Amino acid sequence: MRLISKNGRLISELREEVRSKPELAAQLDVSSQTIYRKMRQLNEFGLATRTPDGYRLTEIGEFHARRFVALCDASETVFEVGEVLYEIPGDDLPEIEEFAVAEVTPCRRHAPDAPVEQVTQFISGAQSLRVLLPVFRRGYVDAMAERSDLGTIPVVLEDHAGDRSNGAVERKLDELVSIDAVRVTRTDSRIPVGLFLDEAAKRVAITAIGERGNVAGAIVSSSSSVYDWAEATYDSYDGQVDNTSDAVRPTARDSPV
């Protein structure tokens, strides 16, 4: 069921119809390589097969697709949540049913910054805040700069994040650290997901990182099980951190945000 949910929009495009790789890539606004990777996985589980004209679902694939659509009442939200979760590595993610009531913003070509904007709105309305990030975005830093009422915001940051952040973002973050608005700790471990935890409200914003290092999507959830998973994930990285940083380490080069 998780494999079906993670590929909901792709499967919906294949239901009762053969589609080519270029058609699927254009319809879903992803690369052909992404379509190839997803179809190979569906094929391994016997849910889809290749034809001379493209791809189609197998009979068992059609059965599971109908079952999933009936279960979720064809919820576009659930399909989009599956898209975002697909970009997050790991097998310990919450079940798709836990996201039945959630705000989800996948990255789209016409609105590439929409996921970051959703997170900045979450930061602006948070009652408390803890953050786990593989890389900072300007919108996050600007939103945190406006939340002095939260006190010092703890941030666990991937040690390699500076190599992928914009130099201006690093300098802005350094300013926040210098005035105790943010406390940054770093881990040598690769962080596969961005988490923004509002403990007071028991809400969490989740961001996925795409193939090109972009924010591939964001989910805001109030589910208790999703929050518990996010808190456990945050704590696991917080327990691995390097020495607490009183300043942001300088970057060797600037990259696009």
In terms of domains, do 35 and 98 share one?
A: no
d(CA 91, CA 88): 9
pLDDT of the residue at 252: 32
10-residue mean pLDDT profile of the chain (257 residues): values are 73 83 89 90 90 90 76 58 78 76 82 92 97 90 95 90 67 91 90 94 92 84 93 90 47 34
Is residue 252 a part of any domain in this protein?
no
In terms of domains, do 111 and 64 share one?
A: no
Q: What is the tens place of the pLDDT at every residue in 8-49?
A: 778 878 876 888 999 999 988 889 899 999 999 899 989 899
pLDDT of the residue at 91: 67
In terms of domains, do 165 and 100 share one?
A: yes
Is residue 193 a part of any domain in this protein?
yes
In terms of domains, do 70 and 106 share one?
A: no
Are 115 and 218 in contact by the 8 Å Cβ rule? The answer is yes
Domain span at residue 204 reads 85-245
Two tokens at 1?
A: 């069921």
In terms of domains, do 92 and 178 share one?
A: yes
Could you give the angle at which helices 32-44 and 21-28 cross, rounded to 10 degrees? 110
In terms of domains, do 152 and 240 share one?
A: yes
Q: For residue 30, how far is the Cα from the chain centroid?
A: 16
d(CA 25, CA 6): 16
In terms of domains, do 104 and 69 share one?
A: no
pLDDT of the residue at 70: 63
In terms of domains, do 97 and 69 share one?
A: no
Q: Please report, for the domain that includes residue 219, its CATH number.
A: 3.30.870.10
Q: What is the tens place of the pLDDT at every residue in 127-136?
A: 999 999 988 8
pLDDT of the residue at 65: 78
d(CA 33, CA 30): 8
Could you give the angle at which helices 114-125 and 138-145 cross, rounded to 10 degrees? 20
Name the H helices within the chain. 2-6, 8-14, 21-28, 32-44, 59-72, 76-86, 114-125, 138-145, 167-178, 224-238
What pTM, to 2 d.p., does this model score? 0.65
